[in-house]
A and B are shown apart, each in its own frame.
Chain A
Amino acid sequence: MSKYVIIGNSTAGIAAAEAIRKTDKKGSLTIISEEKGAAYGRPLISYYLQGVTTDETLPYRPADFYEKLNITLKDGVKAEKIDPSGKKVYLSDGESVSYDKLLVATGSVPFVPPANGLDEVREKFTFYTIEDARKLKAALKPDTRLLIIGAGLIGLKCMEGAYEITHDITVIDLADRVLSSVLDEDCAKIVSKKIDEKGVRLVLNDKVKEFHENYCVTDGGVKVEFDVLVTAVGVKPNVSLVADAGGKINRGIVTDLKQRTSLPDVYAAGDCTVSHDASSGADKIMAVLPNAYLQGETAGFNMSGDDREICNLVPLNSIGFFGVHVLSAGSTQGAMLEQKGEDFIKRFFVKDNRLTGFILIGNYDRAGILLSLIRERVPLDTVDFKAMTLLPELAFFPKTVRREKLDR
């Protein structure tokens, strides 16, 4: 009987457990989780802050999930060390577990850069776990002045959630635009406009020079008074367990297409890994939930003896802020094609007769058809791509291809 151990009880870990149980119903399966309780979709923490998600709707899987899949969940316990030769994981409660196959699905950790005076700030938070969201929610009152450092995805989702409680919000970012890792200048403007309309102050192209207990001063000379501080400048892959055990790291944990690390019988999946972007050919930290699932699933299948390789991973994101939805996928390589209207913008990137990426704001009905063009590397001269930039439809594929797609 095989012994499977998974470190991390989030998307990648759960995906692996689901895959393992498809191939091996008998082996013992243990999940070690630093966070307490059942798994939840991490992106839900901003919806929890907002009051859209509740304790009842938070869990990622039904209440009987762990029992049904015969999983031993060791929660509130941290894995401290992997011994790859003895095939053991040492835990913070002094115990150890041995494994035949191990998955490291430790995700990301919020990155808090050192800053002058940060120690003086009493009410400060990161925004990564449900525990963070609960604490922040308890600290926010309708008249709280909230300062968020970071106008990336996490900072802005935090802003949106917190806005339900307080409107007095300032967001500071080093970049010259919001969501700088996903959006170009024109697209970012559409999002900032909505944020401005809501009365949230954006301080861009600037950074905090020094913090004091209840205010900060930026390099640009802006003084911002606040009661509560959230640092959301970014996350980095949580690689330490594998790094300490001598596994190969290249910013993230390096794996092959079967999600195997360089350590024998140790697999890795999700945000903690570096993955191959099929749209650009580059190795990247993607850190998005759908890819964490796909990698975790692939790892789980391989751990339990069902040979699979991961393919067609591309960066992708679908996020809304105050009702403005931004969908992006792939990379921005190649020539740009644009469709624009009063309340929408669509940008497409095309190279070598293939779609490499897109950004869609305000108009994205049936966007998945476009994503399939990237993932399946469909030669654009075999479809009516021009028509698809207006409205993606299966009608623009040749009849035989469409038949094959739909007849399943």
Chain B
Amino acid sequence: MKKVHVNEDKCLGCRLCEYWCAFSHSGEKYMPDAFNLQKPPVPRIVVEENDKITFAVACRHCDDAICVKSCISGALSKQADGTVLVDESKCVGCHTCVLVCPFGAIRMDEGKAVKKCDLCLKTGGVPSCVQHCPNRAIVYEER
């Protein structure tokens, strides 16, 4: 299946992917409206950074997804198209998925359902992080 892949040699560490991810899932139409909320929206992609490298990490939509198997409520599930999605109405925020995801790709949103990459399937087309990466370090492709 097509996934979000990151080329760490090209990543600039600008974090635009984080901002666009958060914004495009915020439900707001105008970026400042999203980030001037009392609690800014949580990005589902995370940029890692140390003195040598930077790169972004998002859900791998694993075939054998350990988060789905470990979910205590059944909120996380593997869809027929391969995506791993969270049903926010069922998630109780226990964070067992945060404890088991070996990529650290499930994000917490205080007191609320966890957030994770949904490949922007609802908004259609190419994931927002991919669209807005200025250096084409993030791509959406099958490998």
Q: Are B70 and A290 in contact (CB under 8 A)?
A: yes
B94 touches A320 (CB 8 A): yes
Q: A289 CA to B93 CA in the complex, in Å?
A: 15
The answer to whether B92 touches A52, judged by C-beta atoms less than 8 angstroms apart, is: yes
Set of chain A residues within 8 Å of B74, measured between Cβ atoms: 41, 59-61
- Across the interface, which residues of B come within 8 angstroms of A60, CB to CB? 73-74
In Å, the complex CA distance between A323 and B143 comes to 40
Residues in A whose Cβ lies below 8 Å from that of B103: 368-369, 394, 405-406
**Which stretch in B14-22, B104-112, B118-126, B128-136 binds the other chain?**
B104-112
Task: A259 to B96: give the CA distance in the assembly, Å.
Answer: 24
Q: Is the CB of A44 within 8 A of B108?
A: no
Tell me whether B99 and A395 are in contact (CB under 8 A). Answer: no
Provided the pairs A57-B89, A60-B73, A290-B69 are in contact, do residues A368 and B106 lie with their beta carbons within 8 angstroms? Answer: yes
- B61 to chain A minimum Cβ distance, whole angstroms, is 9
Smallest CB–CB gap between B50 and chain A, Å? 5
Give the bracket for the number of chain B residues in contact with chain A. 35 or more
Task: Give Cα A316 to B60, complex, Å.
Answer: 22
B102 near A293 with CB under 8 A, answer no
CB proximity to A under 8 Å, residues B42-85: 46, 48-50, 53, 55, 57, 60, 62, 66, 69-74
Minimum CB distance partner of A289 in chain B: B72
Find out whether the CB atom of A43 lies under 8 angstroms from the CB atom of B72: yes
Q: Is A327 an interface residue (CB 8 A)?
A: yes
Bound CA span A365–B98, Å: 7
For B54, the closest partner residue in chain A by CB is A395
- Given the interface pairs A293-B70, A407-B143, the reply to whether A393 lies near B95 with Cβ below 8 Å is no
**CB distance B95 to A327 under 8 Å?**
yes
> When chains A and B are docked, how far (Å) is the Cα of A47 from the Cα of B46?
30
Tell me the minimal C-beta distance from A292 to chain B in angstroms.
10
Q: Which of A44, A392, A402 is the one whose CB lies under 8 Å from B73?
A: A44
* B2 contacts the other chain (CB 8 A): no
Tell me how far the C-beta of A147 lies from the nearest C-beta in chain B, rounded to whole angstroms: 25
Query: Is there a chain B Cβ closer than 8 Å to A294's Cβ?
Result: yes
A320 and B93 form a contact (CB under 8 A): yes
Cβ of A241 within 8 Å of any chain B Cβ, yes or no, is no
A382 within 8 A of B: no
Once bound together, how far apart are the Cα atoms of A316 and B72, in whole Å?
A: 13
Give 1 or 0 for each of A364-408: 1 = CB within 8 Å of chain B CB.
Answer: 111111011001000000000001000011111001001001111
**Mind listing 18 A-B residue pairs with CB under 8 Å?**
A41-B71, A41-B73, A42-B72, A44-B72, A52-B92, A290-B69, A294-B69, A318-B95, A318-B96, A364-B99, A367-B98, A368-B101, A368-B103, A375-B102, A393-B50, A395-B55, A405-B103, A407-B143
CB-CB nearest 4 A-B residue pairs: A366-B104, A290-B70, A372-B102, A368-B101
